[in-house]
Structure 1
Amino acid sequence: MDFELKILGSSSATPSPNRNHTAQVLTIGNQLYLIDCGEGTLMQLMRYKVKHQRISSIFISHLHGDHFFGLFGLLSTMHLQQRTAPLSLYGPPGLADILTLQFKYSNTQFSFKLTFHELDTTVHTQIFEDKYITVHTLPMQHRVSCCGFLFREKPKPRHLVKSKLPNFLTPPQLIKLKNGADILDDSGQILVRNADVTTHPSHSRSYAFCSDTRYKEDILPYIWQVDLLYHEATFLDNMRERAEYTFHSTARQAATLALKAQVKRLLIGHFSARYKDLTPLLEEAKEVFDNTNLALEGKTIGILD
């Protein structure tokens, strides 16, 4: 099953000619989840041939324009193209009020059901669940209510070793084995031992999206050993005081968090428009955590089992 991230934007508050505002699409199986929706996100979806009508849920980290100004245009286009599938929108307090006011004065009555889910950005809690994944909030420290998101695959079934399976097993019994249970006979004795006919399940993958925030070590337990961590890196470390003042992070701080959390890979983004060349930010992060990449527009990052 696919588990991959498409980067649509990597710029901070001010966009630049080559960098759009923050937006990412996470594809898990046949489900598409949009994370943040800065200005121009719809055009980026079209540019990179992402079928926006397949997006089932949208997660907004906070109410600064570079993270949600693209929402009204995207939702309006979904309506104009006669979308009928329901859409869930997760975001901080106030998002529903802002959009509802826009809908009111544009006399927009959607062709699909839009459901708002207001988030408490101060806590780590589960906000979403489907057949394959769960999503939890990650409390950030920013100038407004802000949270990140942790996407984690549910535990997968064990693998059956066909050559070791007795031929008398029924489909329900095979399902029990995949779920880790032994097969018992009528008297309650073990008939088929799970450990004898199965192997460990595939790895359950994880992605943590850390939006705008000061350096914040108290989220370490939540992102511990995730497969892929995205963390904002607005400034180089020689501007750490500026980062602290504006409630942002530096490339070195993002890498330090990745190192302490023992994550597998780090993506840095949300770059200040002052940096025309992003190489120094990448080099600074790699000094601390080598397996670091830039979150560049159009880049697709796959996470393997």
Structure 2
Amino acid sequence: MECFDLNILGCGSALPTTRHLATSQVINLRDKLYMIDCGEGTQVQMRRMRIKFSKLNHIFISHMHGDHCFGLPGLLSTLGMLGRTGELVIHGPKELEDYLTPILSLFCKELPYPVRINAVNPTTSELVWEDRSIKVHSLPLKHRLPTTGYLFEEKAKEPHIIREMTDFYQVPVKELPRIKRGEDYITPDGEVIPYTRLTRPAAPPKRYAYCSDTTFYEKIIPLIEGVDLLYHEATFGETDAPRAKETFHSTAKQAAEIAKRAQVKKLLLGHYSARYEDVQFLKEEAREIFPNTFLAYEGLRIPV
């Protein structure tokens, strides 16, 4: 069965606690894995959630704060010990190469697989990656240093063949791929059978937007408009709004305001400050503005 699932490995902020780990997520789209950020503890969480290391080919790093990238060295080493041979592509800011080059040369110089770094421009929205399943665009965010979010857009699936109709018109099997691509079928007698009569539309493609870390930033609204799921940082509650402004982070209510203006379908909060023992109040504050709000937590697997 085809899926588009989001796996939360960590949803804490800069200071790891026993309640939350540093930021990391894995998207499973049609059995292809795409990681977003790689804080400490990422590979252990992959084990706990039974996420297959061998299916991971792309890692997207939002910015060069440690809670979003300190897990990379250990993960790269582990992939090598597991016998990986295929290329791993790491997308992120240009400073990523400065960070990884000495690590790769000192600790991972005999990796059995190539690592390619794809520099992402944090000042504009652009296509970062595309394959047969997905398009990934960057989302410029506003933080203390250059930061980018990511928009994952599933590519449209082919329509489903209606077996009863193709049997009725005795459509040869070799014609089915053309019909699924939107071509009409012409019978041996010359009758044109519209492809719409022989197929039913596939489910609409899904979109997921990842926005962490950032202050309240209205410029992202048109870029994420109508997405099926928005993950937006909610580091602070309203009582700590001055601290959020000072550190270029967002409150739960600000995240909800972005979700409301962008008319997204569902909002997922994360990147919680270590000062909070219980973050349920963040959900309550956000739901005052955007009712369809939920909290991220380690081990959560949520369909997009």
Q: Give the TM interval when normalised to the shorter protein.
A: over 0.9
Q: Is the 8 A contact 1:182 1:190 kept in 2?
A: no
Partners of 1:215 and 1:26 in 2: how far apart?
A: 25
Q: How does 1:128-207 map to 2 (within 5 A)?
A: 128-165=129-166, 166-183=168-185, 191-207=192-208
- For 2:288, what is the secondary structure of its paired residue? helix
Partners of 2:293 and 2:10 in 1: how far apart?
A: 17
Partners of 2:173 and 2:127 in 1: how far apart?
A: 33
Partners of 2:263 and 2:161 in 1: how far apart?
A: 31
Partners of 1:196 and 1:36 in 2: how far apart?
A: 45
Which moves more between the two structures, 146-155 or 194-203? 194-203
Which moves more between the two structures, 67-76 or 93-102? 93-102
Which moves more between the two structures, 9-18 or 217-226? 217-226
Question: How does the TM-score come out when normalised to structure 2?
Answer: 0.93
Which moves more between the two structures, 97-106 or 130-139? 97-106
Partners of 1:88 and 1:171 in 2: how far apart?
A: 38
Q: How does 1:7-86 map to 2 (within 5 A)?
A: 7-86=8-87
- For 2:182, what is the secondary structure of its paired residue? coil
5+ residue gaps, structure 2, are: none
Q: Deviations over 1:250-274 (max 9, x none)?
A: 1001111111111111110000001
Q: What does residue 103 of structure 2 align with?
A: 102
Partners of 2:19 and 2:290 in 1: how far apart?
A: 26
Q: How does 1:270-289 map to 2 (within 5 A)?
A: 270-289=271-290
Q: What does residue 218 of structure 1 align with?
A: 219
Q: Deviations over 1:178-226 (max 9, x none)?
A: 222333589xx87112233333221211111111011112222221111
Partners of 1:278 and 1:12 in 2: how far apart?
A: 13
Identity %, equivalent residues:
43
- For 1:252, what is the secondary structure of its paired residue? helix
Deviation at 1:113, TM superposition (A): 1.3
Which moves more between the two structures, 115-124 or 238-247? 238-247
How has the CA–CA distance of structure 1 residues 91 and 190 changed in structure 2, closer, same or farther, with 3 Å as cutoff? farther
Deviation at 1:45, TM superposition (A): 1.5
Partners of 1:14 and 1:27 in 2: how far apart?
A: 27
Partners of 1:219 and 1:92 in 2: how far apart?
A: 18
Q: What does residue 228 of structure 1 align with?
A: 229
Which moves more between the two structures, 245-254 or 97-106? 97-106
Q: Is the 8 A contact 2:77 2:108 kept in 1?
A: no
Paired residues, what number? 302
Q: Which amino acid aligns with 2:180?
A: K
Partners of 2:283 and 2:269 in 1: how far apart?
A: 8
Question: How does the TM-score come out when normalised to structure 1?
Answer: 0.93
5+ residue gaps, structure 1, are: none
Q: Deviations over 1:113-134 (max 9, x none)?
A: 1111111111111111111111
Partners of 2:282 and 2:108 in 1: how far apart?
A: 45
Partners of 2:196 and 2:6 in 1: how far apart?
A: 35
Q: Which amino acid aligns with 2:19?
A: N
Q: Which amino acid aligns with 1:240?
A: A
Deviation at 1:244, TM superposition (A): 1.7
Q: Is the 8 A contact 1:181 1:194 kept in 2?
A: yes
Q: Deviations over 1:61-116 (max 9, x none)?
A: 00000000010011011112222122111111111121111222336221111111
Q: Which amino acid aligns with 1:177?
A: I
1:90 aligns with 2:91: yes
Q: Deviations over 1:127-160 (max 9, x none)?
A: 1111111111111111111111111111122223
